[in-house]
Structure 1
Amino acid sequence: MSQPFIFRTIELGGQSLRTAVRPGDGSMTPLLIFNGIGANLELVMPFVRALDPNLEIIAFDVPGVGGSDTPSTPYRFPGLAKLAARMLDYLDYGQVNVIGVSWGGALAQQFAHDYPERCKKLILAATAAGAIMVPGKPKVLWRMASPRRYIQPSYGVHIAPDIYGGAFRRDPKLALAHASKVRSGGKLGYYWQLFAGLGWTSFHWLHRIKQPTLVLAGDDDPIIPLINMKMLAWRIPNSELHVIDDGHLFLVTRAESVAPIILRFLAEEKRRAIIHPHAAPSRTS
């Protein structure tokens, strides 16, 4: 039986972060989730429920999203990766496995690169290498540039088939269920997330990511065309690519099918994760 999430709001250097931890039984390395742009942590709950209930899960709202305060100045991915490492310190975690979804996949790449001793395995879902990516259709990108779908749920339901593709094209109830879980942090937080990725790319250092990496892609993804995921798998040395018959949000719509792929990947190495005793930064609250 899965444990309920424990929600906490913590303070890190003046930044308030809303966090959620689902306790596990300690037999597996905890899994840290980096969510998509504008997405509060509740939006990944269907995926979490499909995972092994003994797997400990760590999720949080990035600054300006959901229940986390919006900073007065913009931030970049290296700064967010540092904030995530400090959050792990505060919550008393050493090494974790990491999954990044869409915008959160870019943050996951940055975290794996900047804090390799903290990231045992890496999972990249529906994401890209940043500025050099092959873009989706202009109409889709224009809609993604605005936080309107999070602020006005009826608009989000209306455009969901076009921007998310896959099962959202066939089942209107999915868009309604997705919109019901949205907790908007406001326009400024969304724009800060857009700014974090402005001009950013991992392409020139992807070959330095040494963690075993699972790349997951949807074959009907209007936001991140499949070629981008193939590029990640080509550039990251120790990686494998799985293509899912669905759209951008396959982690939610195909959770029961995708979760076993992820769990098999995480179970491939049985050895307990050990963090280097001098690698982690000092604990900060």
Structure 2
Amino acid sequence: MRAVNANGVTLHVQEDGDPNGAPVLFANSLGTDLRLWDAIIPLLPDGLRLIRFDTRGHGLSDCPDGPYTIDALATDVAALIEALDLGTVTLVGLSIGGMIGQSLAARRPDLVRALVLSNTAVKLGEPATWADRIAAIKANGLAAMEGAVLDRWFGPAFRATPAAGLWGAMLSRTPAAGYVACCAAIAAADLSDSTAMLRLPTLAIAGTHDGASPPYLVAATAALIPGAQIHVIDGAGHLPCVENPAAYAAVLNPFLKEHAYV
């Protein structure tokens, strides 16, 4: 367990792999924390420095007052990269983590050498839908949304397993204020113009059963970036790194081997 001050926010950070290896930074999704990547870490190539962190308002990181913006969350990550003296990183971001990655790559291209956009898009949902979700959370708490969120997160096979309930518990124990502040960040974000200007190696990953960022949204985002690859994992939902780590690693590892090493 490690605490790093970044952009005035204390972020919970965990490192694995080779401490002298090429840095790969992982950004979690809305309603999860750095444990999102637990099953993937052992499957990744040797010689990489694997850094995970809890986005502000999630896990053990600080939860300052909201609302947040995607650009502010990207500034957190830029400050984290500089605090850890990582140089240029390969950034793997899922959902809001992928939006943060897009913003960071556009605003600080000196810090990102390659980008993995997992189950994300330049725009996720409509402001009115997010406003309704925020209102429901304020009225009833996060736990009341657990079942509906899990249905969007997972394909039917994984949703039926006891393990899905553990992820529901993670969601329900996320600080409601941090979750709502990040909802506001997503609601206000449309990264279409800045993402269309990106010119770096990019891999996009989707799941056929993703109810939060369907494959067509992920593919449309990938199409904005020249040369971007798109892979769809059959049977997976919004968190394919949880549902099918082997399939996820099979897509991710060739990209890392080609682009992550300095």
Alignment gaps of 5+ in structure 2: none
- 1:176 deviates by 2.3
The 1-side partners of 2:32 and 2:4 are apart by 19
The 1-side partners of 2:156 and 2:52 are apart by 25
Name the CA shift for 1:90/1:231 in 2 (closer, same or farther; >3 Å): same
The 2-side partners of 1:52 and 1:178 are apart by 26
Deviates more, 1:35-44 or 1:107-116: 35-44
Alignment-derived partner of residue 79 in structure 2: 86
Deviates more, 1:189-198 or 1:169-178: 169-178
2:164 partner letter: A
Any conservation in 2 of the 1:165–1:248 contact (CA below 8 Å)? Answer: yes
2:59 partner letter: G
Alignment-derived partner of residue 238 in structure 1: 227
1:72 partner letter: D
Any conservation in 2 of the 1:8–1:19 contact (CA below 8 Å)? Answer: yes
Residue-by-residue CA offset, 1:107-133 (whole Å, 9 max, x unaligned): 1110111111111110011111116x6
1:48 aligned onto 2:41: yes
The 2-side partners of 1:14 and 1:170 are apart by 38
Counting matched residue pairs gives 258
SS of residue matched to 2:206: strand
Alignment-derived partner of residue 3 in structure 2: 9
- 1:185 deviates by 4.0
The 2-side partners of 1:200 and 1:35 are apart by 17
The 2-side partners of 1:109 and 1:163 are apart by 23
Name the CA shift for 1:144/1:188 in 2 (closer, same or farther; >3 Å): closer
Any conservation in 1 of the 2:201–2:259 contact (CA below 8 Å)? Answer: no
- 1:95 deviates by 0.8
2:239 partner letter: L
Name the CA shift for 1:88/1:261 in 2 (closer, same or farther; >3 Å): same
Residue-by-residue CA offset, 1:7-62 (whole Å, 9 max, x unaligned): 211223532211111141645x2111111012111222122233235422111112
TM-score, scaled relative to structure 2: 0.86
Residue 65 of structure 1, aligned match among 53, 58, 65: 58
- 1:266 deviates by 1.6
1:199 aligned onto 2:188: yes
The 2-side partners of 1:194 and 1:115 are apart by 23
Any conservation in 1 of the 2:66–2:178 contact (CA below 8 Å)? Answer: no
Any conservation in 2 of the 1:16–1:68 contact (CA below 8 Å)? Answer: yes
1:83 partner letter: D
Alignment-derived partner of residue 267 in structure 1: 257
Name the CA shift for 1:170/1:17 in 2 (closer, same or farther; >3 Å): closer
The 1-side partners of 2:141 and 2:23 are apart by 29
Residue 101 of structure 1, aligned match among 90, 94, 114: 94
1:211 partner letter: L
Q: Pick the structure with greater CA Rg.
A: 1
1:217 partner letter: A
Residue-by-residue CA offset, 1:130-184 (whole Å, 9 max, x unaligned): 16x6x7xx7x9966986699953x963x445522241456532231242455583
Structural RMSD (CA): 2.8
Alignment-derived partner of residue 279 in structure 1: none
Any conservation in 2 of the 1:164–1:221 contact (CA below 8 Å)? Answer: yes
Name the CA shift for 1:165/1:269 in 2 (closer, same or farther; >3 Å): closer
Alignment gaps of 5+ in structure 1: 1-6, 274-285
Q: Where in structure 2 are the equivalents of 1:245-256 lying within 5 Å? A: 245=234, 246-256=236-246
Any conservation in 2 of the 1:123–1:214 contact (CA below 8 Å)? Answer: yes
Alignment-derived partner of residue 112 in structure 2: 119
Any conservation in 1 of the 2:151–2:159 contact (CA below 8 Å)? Answer: no
The 2-side partners of 1:56 and 1:18 are apart by 17
1:21 partner letter: E
The 1-side partners of 2:182 and 2:65 are apart by 13
The 2-side partners of 1:67 and 1:239 are apart by 33
The 2-side partners of 1:170 and 1:194 are apart by 23
Any conservation in 2 of the 1:65–1:184 contact (CA below 8 Å)? Answer: no
Name the CA shift for 1:125/1:141 in 2 (closer, same or farther; >3 Å): farther
2:225 partner letter: I
